[in-house]
């Protein structure tokens, strides 16, 4: 890889890490306290339990677990009490809440460590029976390096499972935010590709899995609802790494006498209402956001 490309990737990774570090506390509030993504994690459990239930001393590596969430690591540790689960994320300091969740659930079989998904050198070759990654692959600038690392640390016959968001057209939540942000600062929105929907068409990801030595790649569609209480959903929109906050901030700088953020909130409220996403109490219920559940296997020796 050329030096300039490596530098660009390092800079991108630094920014992504910074964004997620900023959003970490809120993310755990949405995901854990408000059960935003709870339909996603059980899919890992359903798929992996039959494959690992009879594997004595099974070991699972979960990458990009989120420092205050630890998922699907905690779900898998609960479902497979005989397995050892290593929950990792690039974020440091590490996973206070994930650890607290595990302790509360009485789980002694999950540990929390810092690791960059693209560089898993601290883990030995062929040392895991499964590698999992929920909503993390999209944020890896060097996906190929990460997939090669997953293949390296998997034992022959080991399993890979991940979730990634579908394209914006299948993600009404992201699409609506984009339409709103475009009204304020189209240039910034168009320049900043939404990394979260990078694998909208999973064909490229399946191809790259094969290239890394993981075979029988498959992508199954899952629908996820975004349910957030009234007091939280606008805050969540501004804190997630989405284009709306930068677009509103730019417009605000150009219109100092006005409350552009309040104007944006009211517009979003109207758009959400028109789409039938608002309950009487003002909670958000945005249905049918599409997600791919992607699986593959390292060939048996
Ligand atoms: C959307 S969160 C997913 C968290 C959790 N797995 C879930 O499904 O709720 C994305 C996570 O990817 C992590 N991340 C970003 N770049 C990473 C990297 N290079 N290696 C490991 N984790 C990374 C972020 O710190 C963040 O916690």
Confidence of residue 100 (pLDDT cuts 50, 70, 90): confident
Q: Is the CB of residue 163 less than 8 Å from the CB of residue 43?
A: yes
Does residue 144 fall inside a structural domain? yes
In the block, tokens 């070991």 appear at 59
User: Around 155, how many Cα atoms within 13 Å sit in the side-chain half-sphere?
Assistant: 13
Does residue 262 fall inside a structural domain? no
pLDDT of 3 reads: 81
Does residue 136 fall inside a structural domain? yes
* Protein residue with least CA distance to atom 22, ligand 1: 64
Distance CA 128, CA 151 (A): 10
Secondary structure (3-state) at 87: strand
What average pLDDT is seen over the chain? Answer: 90
118: left (phi over 0), alpha (psi -120 to 50) or beta: alpha
Q: Is the CB of residue 131 less than 8 Å from the CB of residue 154?
A: yes
Rg over alpha carbons for the chain, rounded to the nearest Å, is 20
23: CA distance to ligand 1 center in Å?
Answer: 11
pLDDT of 106 reads: 86
Asked whether residue 102 carries a pLDDT value surpassing 80, the answer given is: no
Does residue 206 fall inside a structural domain? yes
Does residue 183 fall inside a structural domain? no
Q: Is the CB of residue 292 less than 8 Å from the CB of residue 300?
A: no
- What CATH number is given to the structural domain containing 83? 3.40.50.150
Q: Show the tokens assigned to 105.
A: 């659930």
- Pick the range with the lowest mean pLDDT from 4-18, 91-105, 220-234: 91-105
CA 173, 13, 29, 295 dihedral sign is: positive
Q: Show the tokens assigned to 103.
A: 């302790």
48: CA distance to ligand 1 center in Å?
Answer: 20
User: Comparing C-alpha atoms, which of 105, 59, 103, 48 is closest to residue 85?
Assistant: 59
Distance CA 164, CA 37 (A): 12
Does residue 191 fall inside a structural domain? no
Into how many domains does the chain fold?
A: 1
Asked whether residue 94 carries a pLDDT value surpassing 60, the answer given is: no
DSSP assignment, residue 31? I
Asked whether residue 96 carries a pLDDT value surpassing 70, the answer given is: no
Asked whether residue 34 carries a pLDDT value surpassing 90, the answer given is: no
* Protein residue with least CA distance to atom 9, ligand 1: 71
pLDDT of 271 reads: 93
Q: Where are the alpha helices (DSSP H) in 36-171?
A: 41-52, 73-79, 96-104, 143-153
Phi/psi of residue 130, nearest 5 degrees: -155, 145
Is this model's pTM higher than 0.85 or not?
Answer: yes
Q: Show the tokens assigned to 108.
A: 């002694």
Distance CA 22, CA 118 (A): 21
Asked whether residue 76 carries a pLDDT value surpassing 90, the answer given is: yes
- Pick the range with the lowest mean pLDDT from 219-223, 242-246, 295-299: 242-246
pLDDT of 192 reads: 67
- Share of residues in the chain with pLDDT > 90 (%): 59
Does residue 119 fall inside a structural domain? yes
Confidence of residue 118 (pLDDT cuts 50, 70, 90): very high
Does residue 257 fall inside a structural domain? no
Domain that holds residue 137: 3-167+196-226+289-297
Mutate to test the pocket of ligand 1, among 89, 150, 195 (most ligand atoms within 8 A of CB): 89
Mean pLDDT on 122-135: 97
How many of the other CB atoms lie within 10 Å of CB of 142? 20
* Protein residue with least CA distance to atom 3, ligand 1: 135
Q: What is the tens place of the pLDDT at every residue in 225-259? A: 888 888 888 988 888 878 889 899 999 999 999 99
Q: Show the tokens assigned to 249.
A: 């901030």
Q: What is the tens place of the pLDDT at every residue in 139-153? A: 999 999 999 999 999
- Cα–Cα separations (whole angstroms), residue 27 to 54, 105, 299: 34, 20, 36
Q: Is the CB of residue 179 less than 8 Å from the CB of residue 169?
A: no
Asked whether residue 183 carries a pLDDT value surpassing 90, the answer given is: yes
Ligand 1 neighbours (beta carbon < 6 A): 13, 16-17, 20, 31, 37, 63-66, 69, 71, 89-91, 116-118, 134-136, 139-140
Higher pLDDT, 84 or 177: 84
Mutate to test the pocket of ligand 1, among 62, 64, 140 (most ligand atoms within 8 A of CB): 64
192: CA distance to ligand 1 center in Å?
Answer: 19
- Pick the range with the lowest mean pLDDT from 13-22, 88-97, 232-241: 88-97
pLDDT of 134 reads: 96
């Amino acid at each position: 890889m050329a030096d300039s490309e490596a530098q660009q990737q390092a800079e991108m990774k630094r920014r992504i890490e910074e964004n997620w570090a900023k959003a970490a506390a809120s993310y755990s509030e949405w995901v854990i306290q408000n059960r935003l993504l709870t339909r996603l994690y059980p899919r890992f459990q359903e798929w992996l339990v039959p494959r690992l239930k009879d594997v004595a001393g099974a070991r699972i590596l979960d990458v990009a677990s989120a420092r205050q969430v630890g998922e699907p690591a905690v779900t898998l540790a609960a479902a497979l009490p005989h397995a050892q689960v290593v929950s990792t994320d690039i974020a440091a300091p590490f996973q206070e809440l994930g650890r607290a969740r595990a302790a509360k659930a009485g789980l002694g079989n999950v540990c929390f460590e810092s690791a960059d998904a693209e560089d898993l050198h601290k883990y030995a070759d062929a040392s895991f029976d499964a590698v999992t990654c929920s909503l993390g692959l999209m944020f890896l600038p060097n996906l190929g390096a990460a997939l090669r690392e997953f293949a390296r640390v998997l034992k022959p016959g080991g399993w890979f499972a991940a979730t990634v968001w579908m394209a914006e057209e299948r993600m009404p939540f992201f699409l609506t935010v984009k339409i709103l942000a475009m009204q304020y600062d189209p240039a910034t929105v168009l320049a900043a590709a939404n990394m979260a929907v990078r694998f909208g068409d999973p064909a490229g990801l399946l191809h790259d899995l094969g290239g890394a030595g993981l075979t029988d790649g498959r992508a199954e569609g899952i629908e996820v609802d975004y349910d957030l209480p009234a007091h939280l959903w606008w805050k969540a929109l501004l804190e997630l790494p989405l284009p709306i906050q930068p677009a509103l901030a730019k417009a605000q700088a150009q219109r100092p006498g006005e409350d552009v953020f309040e104007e944006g909130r009211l517009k979003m409220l109207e758009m959400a209402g028109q789409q039938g996403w608002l309950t009487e109490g003002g909670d958000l219920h945005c249905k049918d956001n599409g997600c791919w559940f992607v699986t593959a296997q390292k060939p048996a020796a």
